[in-house]
Structure 1
């Protein structure tokens, strides 16, 4: 074990490929598993029950809410647990539009937003008569605040812009965009799934903030939406009064506890300089690839304002999916999507103005808690060799 209690090697990664796909999902931290296990066995009670079996689950749920809130600078009563980031986005966007009561609600988002938000916007347009504006991004994937200012109007209910892009790691100017939006009287939602736990995130900048467990070493199936006091939302699930009446259903205490434990660990890791360690590994990987393949490596996204764990590069002369297929010792993602066996360029890279060749040659290499210098050395050498390094 390390000084922070983290296992040197995650049991799920032992003997497998080098894992460079932390932005897709993270292995559950064994300390998170240990925290949630009692609530799958002994502490089975309904947290709403007034008898002894409900006491411990209720206390655990309250602590988890407080731990998640502390990670993003919020209050415990502002945290609403959901089953996924997609559900949290749905509650924020649909909830705000339907609660507004406007006959022609206007929603603004941006071209490289997560599909959960974009698809919800499409549904609001189709089913509820909403008007949707999709802002373009520049070559680094960033929204120009001036474009947002020009798009805001009297019918704008909500603006939704993600904190960090899941493919490139690009960090949007959230504080500036949110300030513009709130001065105009509209709500600002931020999907911070990729950012929370990797960098400091301040929920006070925004009205609604999405937090996702499986991006920060908790299990899949648990997420949260931070809702600023005074924000009115239509519930996403109707029924009992759980989760401030916004999401009915008996709470899954074990998963909420897992998210709380993951939030505590993330807070400790941020305070101990974890982003700096990961950023150094990412930069070493970039340097090694650039030296092994001179003139062929192109960074996708901003060189500075991006997640410390994310490296998205295009390699001249290769297709990303074919390159990874030649390197089974590495688990990573590409800049293309596969539909029925046919590969198409990433919509994110396309929205950034990249041509088909560059987008199809892209790799997303994302590091995390169990990434090591040895992983970086192996990955750089294997990728360079497969790409035809001289």
Structure 2
């Protein structure tokens, strides 16, 4: 990280040494294709299945199937497109939230331009979904309701159980993007029909994620070829990436209480150090390792460029460089100027109190310089 203090845990997390150690044997000498029937292939397959068991156990949803993917974006597309394609003729509506990650929001909008009906539910000023609007839109024509557990930009925790109940009452399926909440925020038991997760958001490697499907849920494959992963996801799996994911998930379960206590301490310090900044999104109903902050008179893009000693962001890494204000912050009712004055700080297992204090000083000094020049 070239010595920079890393505060961008929502974009990706540092790779756990234990996960790296688990990956190395499957790069060399265990390089065999896990779909081959010879002995080295079977050994690689065993590593994949052990990893599958570990990730499924960490999810704690019981039963169902876990399909490995290249990441959560693919998992979300598999779930959404696969279910909508397989939906009966009378159910052509997908209902999701305006603040969803682009992998869900853009997929839903794409379906809306291809013969399906797409509804983006509004949120309140705190970022939480309008449940009255949800109740009005989720009806007998709805095939799927999709919602994040924890928002990637502002950290708010959506009422997944309430949205799932509305979906179930209407006979619709419920999909949850649990990427930012996996291992940090509980998924309500029995609420989800499909769940997407990603390894690199929990100290695992990039390039691998998973889609969990509850028993009885059927989707159509959107990738065709070799019929791997039970015919739902063609393509050769990487035993190394799967092994790293499995160990990262198991370690996350083992360390969950310790990590949560550490993050709470960091969050308290960060809120104190950034006391003259406003928090975007709910203050109480959020994952505390994500702070989206705003200070009038600040240009976040310039701030990120100027503060070379800290790695932080202005929102989703997927949308960085687009030049457009965050669709999440816009949905909260923020003006373009307020959105462009907002930064996101993400921290976790490997962040120290000293990191927070030093980062706050560097960011605060640069922000004060900007405001002084603008005065």
TM-score, normalised via structure 2 length: 0.93
Contact 2:224 2:233 in 1 (8 A): yes
1:141 aligns with 2:141: no
Match of 2:231 among 245, 268, 278: 245
Cα distance in 2 for residues equivalent to 1:321 and 1:240: 44
Unaligned residue ranges in structure 2 (runs of 5+): none
Corresponding residue of 2:39:
52
Cα distance in 1 for residues equivalent to 2:27 and 2:189: 31
1:284 aligns with 2:278: no
SS of corresponding position for 2:113: helix
Corresponding residue of 2:27:
40
Match of 1:362 among 332, 342, 346: 342
Residues 251, 326 of structure 1: alpha-carbon distance in 2 compared, 3 angstrom cutoff: closer
SS of corresponding position for 1:387: helix
Deviation at 1:76, TM superposition (A): 6.7
SS of corresponding position for 1:166: coil
Corresponding residue of 2:106:
119
Deviation at 1:188, TM superposition (A): 0.3
Deviation at 1:77, TM superposition (A): 5.3
Cα distance in 2 for residues equivalent to 1:180 and 1:373: 42
Deviation at 1:238, TM superposition (A): 1.8
Contact 2:64 2:214 in 1 (8 A): no
Higher alpha-carbon deviation: 75-84 or 109-118: 75-84
Match of 2:259 among 261, 265, 274: 274
Match of 1:151 among 131, 137, 147: 137
Deviation at 1:289, TM superposition (A): 1.6
Cα distance in 1 for residues equivalent to 2:321 and 2:216: 43
Contact 1:21 1:365 in 2 (8 A): yes
Alignment of 1:102-113 (within 5 A): 102=89, 105-113=92-100
Higher alpha-carbon deviation: 314-323 or 188-197: 314-323
Match of 1:265 among 251, 266, 270: 251
Contact 1:102 1:155 in 2 (8 A): no
Contact 2:259 2:348 in 1 (8 A): no
Contact 1:317 1:361 in 2 (8 A): yes
Unaligned residue ranges in structure 1 (runs of 5+): 1-12
Cα distance in 2 for residues equivalent to 1:345 and 1:238: 36
Contact 1:93 1:120 in 2 (8 A): yes
TM-score, normalised via structure 1 length: 0.90
1:312 aligns with 2:292: yes
Higher alpha-carbon deviation: 146-155 or 227-236: 146-155
